[in-house]
Each structure stands twice: as structure tokens, then as C-alpha cells.
Amino acid sequence: MSKIEIPHVDKELDLSNAGRGVWLVKVPKYIANKWEKAPGNIEVGKLKISKVPGQKAQVSLALSEAVINLDPAEKIPKDHRLDVSVVTKQTLGVFSHVVPGKSDEVVPESEKLFMEGRIVQKLECRPYADNCYMKLKLESIKKASQPVRRVQSLEKIVHNYKPVSDHKHNIEYKERKKTEGKKARDDKNAVQDMLFNAFEKHQYYNIKDLVKITRQPIGYLKEILKEVCDYNMKNPHKNMWELKKEYRHYKTEEKKEEVPLSDSDSN
């Protein structure tokens, strides 16, 4: 199948508000949840800035009664202070992306990008440690301490339990076993012949290589190996199998044992 290539289109960025300074405010989660639930036609709070000559400006936030009463069962603090810090070593900006309604075009021409301003101050909203806030924290601690799983005793036998579906790796393993076929035990003498032929080529083998060569179950193969081979427990051939002395018959040894006949022997 051919991939659909979406053409790259450069879009213009509106920088008319690039010189405007904006605030980056971090609010507690309970305030963010209230604001998300609030409709767009109500006042969510009031921001108050108090300036005293020779001192740092004091910023406070008071939530509106409409926001607080969105969920009367959940009581949250109304008054908060905002700790202000100036952004000096970072360049942060706020951007907006205006996307029009659905269109048949891949990239609508009316799509617009705006820079809303440059962040000049960071503010962190903190509640006052009053009774309302302490109760809110206590409830959140209780919820966090509740276990996710619970043990429930059953008075009657339940018959609607369903078996757990087989895992993917188990299914793949079963299919692979069917494809490869189960390794069958060959005749013991035939397996020994395969081992002798293999040890004529190399003196030492590990168990994995011998399984590949003989295609025998590893338990059955080890039984035969213990009869005709020694298992090395020390270096330099640790964890390797080698034929027992009585079965060793290497070609190199044959060449060493062959002694050429001299002229005196030919007589």
C-alpha cells in the first residue's frame, strides 16, 4: 500500500502581541478541577495586587462563590496567596492555534497561529493553612490510603466467572511447537553415532550445540552423554562435554601414532 504524503505548508505566525508580558500561574489541582467544570459565563475569581512603596507587590486570589458552590459537598479554600518569581534565564512564550471547522482540504488556508505574549513572571498559588484547607488535605490523604483492591466475602456460589484468555506469548509458543514438531527420541546407538561423528570434528561441545546437532530432547541426550562423555568443571573448557578417554579417536592422534617405515624395516 502506498503512503499518502501530506504536503508541508508554511504558516504565518501573528506576532502583533509578541511584546506583551503575560503571567504563568500554577494553581492547585482542586482549583483546576473547579474551573474545568465552570461554565463560560460566570466569574471564577478575583485577582488583587497590593503595592506598598519600597516593598514587593502582594498578589492574592479570591475564588467566586459561584465556583465554590459548583459542588457543595466538596469544600475548598476561597482565599489564596500567589508567590511571584521573575523569569530571567528563560525565554517562554504563549501561543494559540486557531483551527476552523472541518474541511475537505488537507491544510485549510484559514488556519492561524498567534503569539499571545512573552512570559515575564511565574506565580504559584498557595492556600492559607486554615481549617477548610486542613480538612481538604485530610480527605485527600484518606482517599490515597485506601487500597485499590478489596477482599470481599461471598455468601453464595457465583457461577458467572469466565476463564482468563490465553496470553499472546503462550499462543505463539504453541504455534511454534506445532510448526517445528515435537522432538522424538531416536535409537540410542544412532544418537551415539551422531555424537562420535561430531566429536571427530571438535574435541569440546556445549549442550546447546549438541542438542542442535542431534535434535534430541535435552534430558534424553544428557543420559547418553554421561555414558560416553566427561563434563568439564574447570577452565579452560568449563561447562563443555568431551569424549571419555576410551572413546577418543581423533584424526590428529592417528597422524601422531603413524610412524613412517625406515629402509631397515622394509627388508
The average pLDDT across 100-118 equals: 70
Helical axes 207-214 vs 218-228, angle rounded to 10°: 110
Q: Is residue 263 part of a domain?
A: no
Q: Which pLDDT belongs to residue 228? A: 92
Residues 6 or more apart whose Cβ sits within 8 Å of residue 234: none
In this structure, the answer to whether residues 51 and 119 fall within a common structural domain is: yes
Cell reading at 219? 534430558
The answer as to whether 205 is a domain residue is yes
Least confident stretch, 85-89, 93-97, 161-165, 212-216 = 161-165
Query: Strands 58-63, 45-50: parallel, antiparallel or unpaired by DSSP?
Result: antiparallel
Q: What is the DSSP string of the chain?
A: -PPPPPPP----EE-TTTT-EEEEEE--HHHHHHHHHS-TTS--EEEEEE--TTSPPEEEEEE-HHHHTTSTTS----EEEEEEEE--S---EEEEEE--S--SSSS-TT-EEEEEEEEEEEEEEEE---HHHHHHHHHHHHHHHS-SS-----SS------PPPPPHHHHHHHHHHHHH-PPPPPPHHHHHHHHHHHHHH-S-B-HHHHHHHH---HHHHHHHHHHHEEE--STTSTT-EEE-GGG---HHHHHHH--PPPHHHH-
Pair 210, 122 in one domain: no
> Would the pLDDT of 55 be above 80?
yes
Query: Which range of residues forms the domain containing residue 76?
Result: 13-99+111-129
The reported pLDDT for the residue numbered 166 is: 72
**pTM for the structure as a whole:** 0.45
Structurally, the chain folds into a number of domains equal to 2
In a domain, 219, yes or no: yes
* 217-236 per-position pLDDT tens digit: 888 999 999 999 999 999 89
Q: What is the pLDDT of residue 205?
A: 93
Q: How confident is the model at residue 255 (pLDDT cuts 50, 70, 90)?
A: very low
112-128 pLDDT, tens per residue? Answer: 889 999 999 899 999 99
Give me the percent of the chain exceeding a pLDDT of 90.
Answer: 25
When pLDDT is cut at 50, 70 and 90, the band that residue 263 belongs to is very low
In the structure, what pLDDT confidence band is assigned to residue 240 with cuts at 50, 70 and 90? very high
pLDDT per position as a tens digit, 77-98: 999 999 988 888 888 899 998 8
We report the CATH number of the domain holding residue 194 as 1.10.10.10
Query: Angle CA(213)–CA(217)–CA(221) in degrees, nearest 5?
Result: 70
- Asked if residue 193 and residue 88 are part of one domain, the reply reads no
206: in domain? yes
Task: With respect to residue 223, please indicate whether it lies within any of the assigned structural domains.
Answer: yes
Is the residue at 8 inside a domain?
no
Q: Residue 265: what pLDDT?
A: 44
> What is the predicted pLDDT for the residue at 260?
44
Has residue 83 been placed in a domain?
Answer: yes
